[in-house]
Structure 1
Amino acid sequence: MAFSGNLSAKEKKRRLARIQEETEIRPPSQSQENDTEQKKLKTSEPATEGKQPSFIKERLKFFETLKTEHQLLSATYEKKNTSNAITVRMADGKTVEGEGWKTTPYQLAAEISQELAENTVIAKVNGELWDLDRPLEGDSTVELLTFENEEAQAVYWHSSAHVLGEAMELYYGGHLCYGPPVENGFYYDMFIEDRAVSSTELSALENMCKAIIKEKQPFERLEVSKNTLLEMFKYNKFKCRILEEKVNTPTTTIYRCGPLIDLCKGPHVRHTGKIKAIKIFKNSSTYWEGNPEMETLQRIYGISFPDNKMMKTWEKFQEEAKNRDHRKIGKEQELFFFHDLSPGSCFFLPRGAFIYNTLMDFIRIEEEIKGCLQFLQSVYSTFGFSFQLNLSTRPENFLGEIEIWDEAEKQLQNSLMEFGKPWKMNPGDGAFYGPKIDIKIKDAIGRYHQCATIQLDFQLPIRFNLTYVSKDGDDKMRPVIIHRAVLGSVERMIAILSENYGGKWPLWLSPRQIMVIPVGPTCEHYALQVSNAFFEEGFMTDVDLDDSCTLNKKIRNAQLAQYNFILVVGEKEKINNAVNVRTRNNKIHGEISIASAIDKLKNLKSSRTLSAEEDF
């Protein structure tokens, strides 16, 4: 089993020449001062100017030796197997003929269309993700995945992490650790002794990544024995730990792009040039495998896309997310605050407490709804959320009998089927005491948040020897406990809701429901009477008696503060015992009696409509 593709003598010569060039790549001459959060660690210069760390050159020589051995083995195999016809079934059901150990998924894509070949990120061969240039080994079913596919995105970002890792090695000269794809992008961890990464260095790293991309460095796959890899990576104790603790097979795979050679299961994109847009945007400190007792590592985050338009959309999304930050909204709307004495705690101010209590009442105002899934759907549709359902099954470390687990998982699966909404299997992610249904909600700008869960617990009833009398009279029936969390942490849900609504709370949940504004001083007493009338009916009501502001200024201030309804009162409204109604979106509903306004708003509040301002 060898690297992807076979190289001609001319190509081998070109590649050897490039190896020599790569050993002369120069990193930036000087690093910047470190971030304040890591000020205890001193910054230093990048890897010695004009030189690479010695391990890079040694690693490349090691790789080329191994690759030559694999080429000889492949050539011998090809001579012995001159004819190896295979049948390939494509995702659309069509079948094509190919040649075993020669035909690649990329060739199949190119035969369909060059555009498809260029847009395909990765292949799926017999259900397994597969490098586009890795030859098929026998009769196969092949699916070609583009960036829109979640698995293809993960591969794309994983390949981008290798580009970042290459740049980090050249710039810092440290030892790479883990570099996985994540939900939105990728990161790479590096150990750099007593050195910290500064955010001012990220632009230099990004420029290096862009240079690597322009080189269109191919990703080469090689399967190597574990013992050989321990020798290849002996300079890096972290890679050796991975080999010794995580790899339980005689061989495993490595991938090369440019001067970087890394332990990796793969697969990857064909070459670094497939990454069309990349941004390195954040850094932080972390610990080896999250253990505070282990080494401190430097983590650098990035994101990449197959075109610049997607990157622009992502940047716009980041700006929108920044504007919706719950900490910013909480401060501006006087909902809650945080304090250094208890950094993980949220301290609610009166308006925030109103939201908290309203949410709690909502969950109690609904407990009689039959069925947990119907209950969840009712709650989340009220907030305006769509959601994803995942069935999380038995983890590696579990309590109880496998037969009981299988039955419980079957019950949850049947419930999901009866519910009728799309759902996905999430193998191995159940709680140790039972399987669960996890629910991820999608907010207004497309982000997913894990909130609700429905868990089956058949271990506690056994531990506490709980029994009940069945309808058949059996008094030894064992119950199953259902753990149901609808909002998750109420504090966290408030943070999610504040960002989802961008501070524009729906009427029923709003901490600023009504602002009463008098036209002039002669109407201030009437304005106070109106405010009291709505307050006594349970509305969060304020009145603006600031003489220094004009009427238009008061209205605008109330709209900016996100009061759902602004009630303007003048002499005419005072005579008619009425109010003039407009909304935060400047929709004018006109004059209406106080009694009618209260009735309408109470109905809108009790129905928990998301569009009360329009429906008034």
Structure 2
Amino acid sequence: MSEVIGIKYQDKVLDLATAQEMGVSGEEVVFDNSSDSLSIIRHSCAHLMAQAIKSLYPEAKFFVGPVVDEGFYYDFEVGSKISEEDLPKIEEKMKELAKSGFTISKTTLPREEVIARFRDDDLKMAVISKIDSPTLSIYSQGDFEDLCRGPHLPNTKLLHSFKLTKIAGAYLGGDESAKMLTRIYGIAFADKESLKHYLFQLEEAKKRDHRKLGNEMGLFTFDEDVGAGLPIWLPKGARLRRTLESLLTQAHIIRHYEPVRGPEILKSDLWKISGHYQNYGENMYFTEIDEVEYGIKPMNCVGHIKVYQSSIRSYRELPLRFYEYGVVHRHEKSGVLHGLLRVREFTQDDAHIFCKPDQIRDEIVSIVKFAQRIMDSFGFKYEMEISTKPEKSIGDEAVWEISTQALKDALSSCGIPYGIDEGGGAFYGPKIDIKITDAIGRKWQCGTVQIDMNLPQRFALEYIDEDNTAKQPVMIHRAILGSFERFIAILIEHFGGELPFFIAPTQVIIIPISSEQVEYANELRDKMLSLGAYAEILSKNETLSKRVRTAEKQRVPMIIVLGEKEMQSKVLPIRDRREKSQYELSEDDFLKLVETKMKEVSF
């Protein structure tokens, strides 16, 4: 535990857990906005929120109140209906209780005594049933108490920089067949300035929400008749995807990747061999054909393995790099679906590389540089993290160690600092996660690179080595964007809908003032199309000002308003949203500018 989170006691700083075990309150609590400190602050604040709810709604019963990435929450059951409008009232009660300065104390009791204490509380009994320990701890503050491991801050007066952010429903224990509880989320920091910055960021995030902007820009939609988590791409969104795919395809070709395509549904026997059936089956969709079970693919790796097995392979062919924009389906619970960021059907920019063990390092280095090129093209700041063997895994320990070290060596050779996520790897191998930071400082999980020596073994993959013996190749799983859906959502929010010229679904909107300029507008559009850019013409029977507002709402990089003068002179007035300026260019110079902008980025 960090030394800055604790209680000053006899010229020492005791960590909170030790201090509370010793019954020491101390004169001064020392903490900051480090991750360890925030975890304690936020968990203490969760209990403060529960105390406030209990004070306002005496019949309330509480389930769990953990710390999560976005702050903290508490799940509870209450007889009254609580809505968003009630959050300020609960927050005010929290402030009142915090100022009261209740001592937060810990008591450890035998399991039987705790069961007797909460016998009439079904939610507490549900919590106790999940804890395998002969003793249980209870944290108390004022007239409120709850089961908790802790540690907590020693006094409620230390909680002063918090905000309740939203309310939602949540199934008891995440079980969709169980009853629905109320969940309130909140955030807390060590100081008011950090809270103020976070709330500003939250408001900015609302403005940039890809669901809102995607609707305004006409990119995609969702339809209840189709099903939750299944995006429908409208023409402009499909153009955006097509452009991204085209740039990525050219980048794959020059890096000697070969396009392949596997089926979207495979016999379950294959998923059993791969281990997905046993380790990932709850996230898959299954069906039966001719009394044989099939699984809809959640990943593309098994199809690419079958491509590899379609021919006898020689060491001279390796490395073999296969790529596919593969459509996959995963069973996500309805409560976690979120626009394009979390869907049930999505398309991965997937690739699998089959290589010799002594080629691993060079392949990983090449992938990392490929990823850097893409992230730099969009101006993203990014970081790398290596995820190691999880608790639920397959394969020999020695294989995991070799694979993990290969990833570390590759990043070190590129001079890239990296973090370690202990136990965060895939069940079949360690991985590198590429995490990007957007314009308002949020971090997003994006691409991933995974070394896999287990699937080649399970499918008995071989190549003939130069000594004419059969050897097992190494398989590298690689997705740089992660998925087109998620990456596009991140792009929209990062740029606030103001997408760069080269990737925008529409580069220019042309607005003819009258019907006399429509023919010239069509000529301009066709010339742009021949350069790989796209132009729309707004010639509806509406006022000029309304058409200009419509164009601006679509956030296109450039707007051109054509009148008689412009048609005769071939000098175009450009409203450049990206440059935040207005200027005039001859038609020839404008087309040269468009051509340059369309070619200024390549992966």
TM-score (norm 2): 0.73
Q: Structure 2 vs 1, CA of residues 252 and 412 (structure 1 numbering), >3 Å: closer, same or farther?
A: farther
Q: Deviations over 1:120-144 (max 9, x none)?
A: xxx775xxx646666599xxxxxx9
Q: C-alpha distance in 2, partners of 1:603/1:378? A: 19
Q: Which residue of 2 aligns with 1:613?
A: none
In the other structure, the counterpart of 1:116 is none
1:107 counterpart SS class: strand
Between the aligned partners of 2:392 and 2:537, the Cα distance in structure 1 is 59
Task: Describe how 1:319-338 pairs up with structure 2 within 5 A.
Answer: 319-338=203-222
Shift of the 406–602 alpha-carbon distance from structure 1 to 2, 3 Å rule, reads: same
Change (3 A) 1:238 1:414: farther
Q: Secondary structure at the match of 1:598?
A: helix
Shift of 1:513: 0.7
2:522 maps to 1:528 = yes
> Quick check: 163-172 or 587-596, which moved more?
587-596
- What's the counterpart of residue 186 of structure 1? 72
Alignment partner, residue 305 of structure 1: 189
- Offset at 1:153? 1.2
Instruction: Kindly indicate whether residue 439 of structure 2 is the aligned counterpart of residue 538 of structure 1.
Output: no
Change (3 A) 1:428 1:246: farther
Structure 1 SS opposite 2:240: helix
One-letter amino acid of the structure 2 residue matched with residue 180 of structure 1 = P
Q: Aligned partners of 2:450, 2:504: CA distance in 1, in Å? A: 32
2:247–2:602 Cα contact (<8 Å) kept: no
| Distance change in 2, residues 1:567/1:155 (3 Å) | same
Aligned AA (1:415): A
For 1:197 and 1:569, how far apart are their aligned partners in 2? 55
Deviation, 1:161, is 0.5
Instruction: Answer yes or no: is the 8 Å Cα contact 2:2–2:36 preserved in 1.
Output: no
- Residue 504 of structure 2 corresponds to 510
Q: CA deviation at 1:554?
A: 5.4
Q: Whole-Å Cα distance in 2 between the matches of residues 283 and 238 of structure 1?
A: 19
- 2:217–2:553 contact (8 Å) kept in structure 1: no
Q: For 2:413 and 2:51, how far apart are their aligned partners in 1?
A: 50
Mapped to 1, the partners of 2:3 and 2:202 lie a distance apart of: 36
Contact 2:574 2:582 in 1 (8 A): yes
Distance of 2:578 and 2:388 partners within structure 1: 47
Q: What residue in structure 2 maps to residue 316 of structure 1?
A: 200
Counterpart code for 2:509: M
1:428 aligned residue: 423
Q: Secondary structure at the match of 1:339?
A: coil
Partner of 2:596: 603
Q: Label 1:565 to 1:297 Cα distance change in 2 as closer, same or farther (>3 A).
A: same
1:405 aligns with 2:291: no
1:107 aligns with 2:102: no
Change (3 A) 1:372 1:149: same
Kindly tell me: are residues 400 and 522 of structure 1, through their superposed partners in 2, closer, same or farther at Cα, counting changes over 3 Å? closer
C-alpha distance 553-238 of structure 1, shift in aligned 2 (>3 A): closer
What is the one-letter code of the residue matched to 1:329?
Answer: L
For residues 479 and 579 of structure 2, what CA distance do their matches in structure 1 show? 38
| Structure 1 counterpart of 2:59, from 163, 173, 190 | 173
Distance 1:570 1:432, change over 3 A: same
Q: CA deviation at 1:163?
A: 0.7
Q: CA deviation at 1:586?
A: 6.8
- Aligned partner of 1:261 among 135, 142, 145: 145
Report SS of the residue matched to 1:345. Answer: coil
Give the secondary-structure state (helix, strand or coil) at the position aligned to 1:300. Answer: strand
Asked if 2 retains the 8 angstrom alpha-carbon contact of 1:189 and 1:298, the reply is: yes
Higher Cα Rg, which structure: 1
**What is the Cα-based RMSD across aligned positions, in Å?**
3.2
Contact 1:186/1:302 (8 A) holds in 2: yes
Change in 2 beyond 3 A, CA 1:523/1:195: closer
Q: TM-score, normalised by structure 1?
A: 0.71
Q: CA offset at residue 357 of structure 1?
A: 1.0
2:555 aligns with one of 549, 562, 569: 562
What SS class does the counterpart of residue 115 from structure 2 fall into? helix
Provide the rounded CA distance (Å) in 2 between the counterparts of 1:589 and 1:337.
33
Question: How many Å apart are 1:187 and its aligned residue?
Answer: 0.4
Partner SS for 1:234: coil
Q: Is the 8 A contact 1:395 1:428 kept in 2?
A: yes
| Equivalent of 1:393 in 388, 396, 401 | 388
Does the CA-based 8 Å contact 2:216-2:553 persist in structure 1?
no
**Equivalent position of 2:477 in the other structure:** 483
Query: 1:191-213: CA deviations, max 9, x gaps?
Result: 44x76543343333222212211
**Cα distance in 2 for residues equivalent to 1:437 and 1:306:** 32
The answer to whether residue 372 in structure 2 is matched with residue 372 in structure 1 is no
The aligned amino acid for 1:107 is K
Q: Secondary structure at the match of 1:465?
A: coil
- C-alpha change, 1:232 and 1:420, in structure 2 (3 Å) is farther
Q: 2:384 aligned with 1:498, yes or no?
A: no
The 3-state SS of whatever aligns with 1:455 is: strand
The answer for unaligned runs of 5 or more in structure 1 is: 1-88, 93-103, 113-122, 138-143, 611-616
**1:440·1:450 contact (CA, 8 Å) conserved in 2?**
yes
1:608 is aligned with what amino acid?
V
* 1:530-571 Cα distance to aligned partner (Å, 9 max, x none): 222212322110234457535x77556534432212234455
Matching residue of 2:305: none
State the Cα distance separating 1:492 from its structure 2 match: 2.4
Instruction: Give the conservation status (yes or no) of the 8 Å contact 2:33–2:189.
Output: no
- Residue 223 of structure 1: how far off its partner (Å): 3.4
1:466 corresponds in structure 2 to 461
> What's the offset of the Cα at 1:352?
0.7
Within 1, Cα distance between the matches of 2:179 and 2:514?
A: 67
1:352 aligns with 2:346: no
- 3-state SS of 1:404 partner: helix
Residues 196 and 298 in structure 1, CA contact (< 8 A), matched pair in contact too? no
Q: Distance in 2 between matches of 1:373 and 1:352?
A: 28
Distance 1:252 1:392, change over 3 A: farther
Cα 1:237–1:412 shift into 2, 3 Å: farther
Partner amino acid for 1:499?
E
1:416 counterpart SS class: helix
Indicate if the aligned counterparts of 2:7 and 2:30 stay in contact, CA closer than 8 A.
no
Contact in 2 for aligned 1:131/1:268 (Cα 8 Å) = no
Cα distance in structure 1, aligned partners of 2:502 and 2:560? 17
Mapped partners of 1:199, 1:90: distance in 2: 36
Structure 2 CA distance for partners of 1:609 and 1:209, relative to 1, 3 Å: farther
CA deviation profile, 1:466-500 (whole Å, cap 9, x unmatched): 11223x42533222221112222312222222222
User: Greater RCO between the two (CA within 8 Å, min separation 6)?
Assistant: 2
Aligned residues: 487
State the Cα distance separating 1:527 from its structure 2 match. Answer: 3.1
In the alignment, what sits opposite 1:441? 436
CA contact (8 A) 2:66 2:74 kept: yes
Cα shift readout 1:159-179 (whole Å, capped 9, x = no counterpart): 101111222333242332110
Please tell me whether the aligned partners of residues 392 and 435 of structure 1 are also in contact (alpha carbons under 8 angstroms). Answer: yes
Q: What amino acid is aligned across from residue 387 of structure 1 in structure 2?
A: Y
- Given that 2:382 and 2:434 are in contact with CA atoms closer than 8 Å, whether structure 1 keeps it comes out as yes
What stretches of structure 2 of length at least 5 have no aligned partner?
256-362
2:45–2:188 Cα contact (<8 Å) kept: yes
Contact kept, 8 Å, 1:132 with 1:270, in 2: the verdict is no
Distance 1:359 1:205, change over 3 A: same
Counterpart for residue 246 of structure 1: 131
In 1, are the aligned partners of 2:513 and 2:561 still within 8 Å (CA)?
A: yes
Q: 1:180 Cα deviation (Å)?
A: 0.6
Q: What do residues 267-320 of structure 1 show as CA deviations (whole Å, max 9, x unaligned)? A: 222311111133223222222221223343221111223444443333332222
Partner of 1:203: 88
The corresponding residue for 2:322 is none
